[in-house]
A and B are shown apart, each in its own frame.
Chain A
C-alpha cells in the first residue's frame, strides 16, 4: 500500500502544480490581451476606460500637428464616420503618413483624446493594416445599413 500512497501523493502534487501553473498562465494571458476597437466603437463608448486597447483607421489629411517641443505629435484617426484625436510622444514609425492607415495602442483619456503609447506600422507602402482597413469597411457598412462585417477587405494589392 505504501508505494501506492506515494504515487497518489505524487500525482496529486503534480496536478496541483499543473493547476497553479495553468491559473497563472491564463491570468497573465487575460490581463495582456489587447483588444482592437474602431473609432465608431470608441465613440459609442464600447471601448474600456483605464485599459490599454488599440484603435485603427486612416490618419486625416492635414491633421498632424507638433505643438511644443516638436516631439509630441497630435493627429486624428478616422474610419470615415467618426474622428478620434490621438496624442503621442516619441518618434513616429517610418511608414506613418497622413492619408494612410495606422494602428495605435494606448488608453483613452477622460477628455476623449486617445493617448498612444505605441504607433504601429507593420505594413508596406501600398498596404493598409488589416485592422485599419476593417475599421473603415465597418463604418461604410454601417452607414449603408448593410451590416455585412464578414465581407473582408481586400487590403489593397499584396
Chain B
C-alpha cells in the first residue's frame, strides 16, 4: 500500500511540475500576473509530494518490504538501520528520487530567498526548474520506477554492496547531489535572463550566491568521496582519476570557473556571454555526471544499450537541455549584446587588469574541464563505436592537470591585488615580490630537505607558500590600520579563505604524492615491519563477528623508536549475504602524517600479507577542501547579495508590475 501511495505522489508531483513549467513561463511572456503567481505554490506543493514519495520509499526500506523490487535488490534484513536508510540512494532509481527531492528543496529555497526579486524573474526561474523536474520525474516514472513491485516477493533482499555500507554512503551522495542540483539554479537564472532578453549584470548578481552555495556543497561532496575512498578501498590513495570521480570533478571545475566569471559580469559587466554559456555548461555537466554514474554506462556501454528506453531517454533529455539552451543563446545573444560578438557592452579593460587575470583563470579551468571530459568520454565513445576497449591511464590526467594548474597557482595571488580595468603591472608585482622570494626560498629548502620525491615536495611547498603569503598580503592591504578607509567585506574574507584552502590543498596533494612510504610483505605473529622511523609489530589475527559480517581482526602494535605509540586493528570482513570480502584498513591520523595498515590475504601457518603506508600531510587535502567550502559559505552570506527592497524605479524598469499580494 505504502509504495503505491509513493508512486501516486510522484505522479501528482509530475503534474504539478508540468504546471510549474508551463504556466509561470507563459505568464511571464504574456504579462499575466495570475499565471506567474502559480510558480511559488507549485514549487512548494511539488516539494511536499516528492518528500512524501521519498518517505514512502524510506519506509519500505526500514520495514524490509522486499516486495518492492528496488528494496529487494539494494537491502537485506540483516542490514543495520542507518544503512537501510542510506540504501534508499544506493541504486539508480533511488538516486534519481533523491536528485528530484533535492531539486525541489532548491526550488523551495528560491521561493523563500527571492521574495524581493522581480516577479517575472522568479516565475521564469521556477518555471525552468519545473521543466527540469518534469524531465526527471518522467524519466523516473516511465523507465526507472523505484516503487515497482516484485511478485512473488523474495524472502530476503540481495543486500547493499558492502563497499557502500559505510558512514560515507550516508553523507557523500546527498552532499554531492546538493552541489549537482544546486547548479540548476544558476542555470535557471541564465535561461531566464536569456528568455527575458535582459542580459545585464543583475542576473549574475542574483545567481552568484546560488552558484557559490552549490559549488561549496559539491566541494564538500567530492572531498567526502575522496576521504571515503581513502579509508575504505584499502589502497591508501585519495584520487584515482576514475570515471566516477571525473564525473563529479567536471562540474566542479566548470563551477569554479563560473564563480569567477560571474564576479566579473556582476561587477564590471564584462564576460556576459561567456558567463551564460558557463552556467549552461556547468549544469549540463552535472546532468552528465548524474547519468554517467548512475545509469551503468560506465560499467559497460552495453549495459546502457541493454535497456534502450533508458539510454534513449537520457540522450534526448540531455539533447533538449543542452541543445535547447544553445539554441536560445544563439537566438537571443546577438540582439542583446549588439554587434560585437558577446562582451562588447561591458566596461573595456586593458591587457593588464584583474579582468585579464580572471580570463586566464577561466581559460585554464575550462581547459582542464575539457581535458577531463575527453579522457572520460573517449573510452565510452570508442566502445560504442566498436573501436576496441580502451582505458585512459591516470598519468594522462595527472600530467595535464598539473600542467594546467601550475600557471593558475602562479597567477592566483596576483588577481586580488590587481585593479579592475587598468593596472600598472609593476604595482602588484612589487607588492608580491618579497613573498615570491620567500616561496622560492622555501621551495629550495624543501628540495634539499625532502628524502624523496624532491620535485613534488619543492613544487608543493613553493606553490603553497606563494599562494598563502600572496593571499594574506591581499588581506593585509584591507586590514592594515593605515588603510582604514578600505573595507574588508564578507565576500573578500570568503575569497581569502577559499584561496588559503587552495594553498593547504597543494601542501596535502603534492607532499602526500612525494613523500608517501609503502611496504607490503608477508608477516608471521611477532614479526616487525620497519617503515619511516616507525615499527609495526604484527600480533596475529582473531575472529570477530559484526552485525552482518564475520571478520578476521588483525592486531598491529606501532612503536615510535622504543615507545609504544598505539594499537591498530585492520580487518578483513566477509559479508553474510553475498560472501563478499572487504578490507577495512586501520588508520591513525595526524596533522603531519597518517599511519595506514591494511590486511592482505592469509598465507597459511598464521602468516598474513600486510600492507603498511605512511602518508605525510594527507589530511591537508581535505582540510584544504573544507577551507574552500567555508570560503563559499562566507561569500554567499555577504550582505551585498541580499536584494534590497524594490524601489519605484525598479518597478518602472520592469515590464510587469510586481503584485504585492504575491509576496
Contacts and interface: CB of A to CB of B under 8 A. Distances in A.
A34 B386 contact: no
Interface in B389-408: 389-396, 399-400, 403
A152 B306 contact: yes
Given A92-B601, A124-B161, A125-B580, A36 B391 contact: yes
A36 B588 CA distance: 39
A150 B386 contact: yes
A101 interface: no
Nearest to A68: B522
B63 interface: no
B612 to A, nearest CB: 11
Interface of A is mostly: loop
B520 A35 contact: no
A31 B394 CA distance: 11
A32 B374 contact: no
A134 B389 contact: yes
Interface stretch (A20-28, A108-116, A139-147): A20-28
Given A71-B609, A92-B601, A32 B580 contact: no
A150 B383 CA distance: 11
Contacts of B234: 94
B395 A32 contact: yes
A69 B522 contact: yes
A158 B305 CA distance: 14
Contacts of A130: 299-300, 302-303
B300 A29 contact: no
B303 A33 contact: no
Contacts of B388: 35-36
Residue with the greatest number of chain B CB neighbours at <10 A, chosen from A33, A69, A92, A127? A33
Would you call the interface of chain B mostly helix, strand, loop, or mixed?
A: mixed
B521 interface: yes
Contacts of B367: 21
A28 B396 CA distance: 6
B582 interface: yes
Contacts, number: 96
Contact of A91 (B161, B395, B600): B600
Contact of A125 (B299, B371, B522, B578): B578
A94 B395 contact: no
Interface residues of B, number: 43
A155 interface: yes
A94 B391 CA distance: 22
Most buried by A among B300, B303, B521, B601: B300
B598 interface: yes
B374 A33 contact: no
Given A29-B375, A69-B521, A71-B609, A125 B579 contact: yes
Contacts of A91: 520, 598, 600-601, 609, 611
Interface string A47-68: 0000010100000000000100
Contacts of A152: 300, 302, 305-306
A91 B583 CA distance: 11
B299 A54 contact: no
B362 to A, nearest CB: 14
Contacts of B580: 94-95, 124-125
Contacts of A3: none
Contact of B374 (A25, A71, A158): A25
A92 B520 CA distance: 12
B603 interface: yes
Nearest to A153: B302
Interface string B599-628: 011010001010100000000000000000
In order of increasing CB-CB distance, the 6 nearest A-B pairs are A32-B396, A36-B389, A130-B300, A152-B302, A32-B393, A91-B600
Interface of B: 161, 234, 296, 299-300, 302-303, 305-306, 367, 371, 374-375, 378, 386, 388-396, 399-400, 403, 520-522, 578-583, 598, 600-601, 603, 607, 609, 611
19 contacts: A21-B367, A28-B395, A29-B374, A29-B396, A31-B396, A32-B396, A34-B393, A52-B393, A70-B522, A91-B598, A91-B601, A123-B299, A124-B161, A126-B578, A150-B386, A152-B302, A152-B306, A154-B306, A155-B302
Interface of A: 21, 24-25, 28-29, 31-36, 52, 54, 66, 69-71, 90-92, 94-95, 122-127, 130-131, 134, 149-150, 152-155, 158
